[in-house]
Amino acid sequence: MLDYDKHLQEPMDMPDPEFPIKVHTQRFNQEGVLLFPHHWHEHLEFLFIESGEAVFECGRTPINVRAGDLVAVNSNELHYGVSASSDLLYYAIIADTSLLHSAVSDAAETKFIAPIQQNQLLLRNHIRGDQHITDCALAIIRELELREFGYELAVKSELYRLLTLLLRRHLVTVLSQAEQERRIQTVERFAPVLRYIDTHYQEPIQVDELAALTGLSRFHFSRLFKELTGHTISEYINAVRLDRADYLLRHTQLTVSEIATTTGFNDIYYFSRTFKKHRKVTPSSVRGF
């Protein structure tokens, strides 16, 4: 099981702890809005796009999604999202894998449920044009919203069906125990780096000081960091800074210049260019929205 550093882990409360699955309806009417910052959780998550467009990032892969698409977020997978249109509506189905466990260890448990939870079976993130999967996702959403008598049976049935279809049609990785252990070791080695960036993003950050946290040379550190996150170090640091800047623009009265400085951008013009490049809107338009 991947074990990202706890500062990126999102706590996940369920409305009914005895039936740990929920659905959130999310609407955004502006392009470039941060939907959620980089985070991870042990739960499976399925994002179904009802209308509009967005950019989600799962692991190290950016995904451009549109109406009708489904994004499967594997357990313990780092993910992030930004709106890409002014008419975005999506549903987030979040399920604790304990909902799928059997009272006894049967073949379904040992062959599929446990390996999914432990990341030995990884699902393709981007699902497009699969009507059967769309129907499953919509059925789960409908049952969780209406909560009619017996909805728990219907939800669990559709969730098993959804996973069956995903495993049959959209399974991308089957990791051996050795491969999984190597993957865990890499993540654990870089956890202090992610924590350091998360707590020191306001300051100048040098590659050499990050590499020293892992005991790797600058070259090998940079290569492994890109393999793990899908970003260069400067890209990742800027992404963290932009996440914080977006929050401050929407929830504080700080000026754009103050926010730029607070989030580690000492040049307001560079901050504005970088923000617009990645969020497709200017910082001042976010503040004025």
pLDDT exceeds cutoff 80 at 182: no
Residue 65, strand partner residues: 54
Write phi, then psi, for 123 (nearest 5 degrees).
-90, 150
pLDDT in tens, 61-94: 789 999 999 999 998 888 889 898 999 999 999 9
- And the tokens for 281? 């809107």
Q: State the virtual CA torsion across 165, 166, 168, 170 in degrees, nearest 10.
A: 140
The domain segmentation of the chain, as residue ranges, is 6-175, 178-288
Of 45-59, 198-212, 275-289, which gets the smallest average pLDDT?
275-289
Residue 201, strand partner residues: none
Same fold, 6-175 and 178-288: no
> In 70-171, which ranges are continuous DSSP H helix?
107-108, 114-117, 131-146, 151-169
pLDDT in tens, 3-41: 444 445 555 677 788 899 999 999 999 888 889 877 788
Q: How far apart are CA 248 and CA 37, in angstroms?
A: 13
CATH of domain 178-288: 1.10.10.60
Neighbours of 228 (CB within 10 A): 19
pLDDT in tens, 94-105: 999 888 876 666
pLDDT in tens, 142-178: 999 999 999 999 999 999 999 999 999 999 877 676 7
- What pLDDT does residue 105 have? 65
**How much is the average pLDDT of 180-191?**
74
Q: How far apart are CA 54 and CA 66, in angstroms?
A: 7
Prediction pTM value: 0.71
CATH of domain 6-175: 2.60.120.280
Neighbours of 145 (CB within 10 A): 12
Neighbours of 189 (CB within 10 A): 16
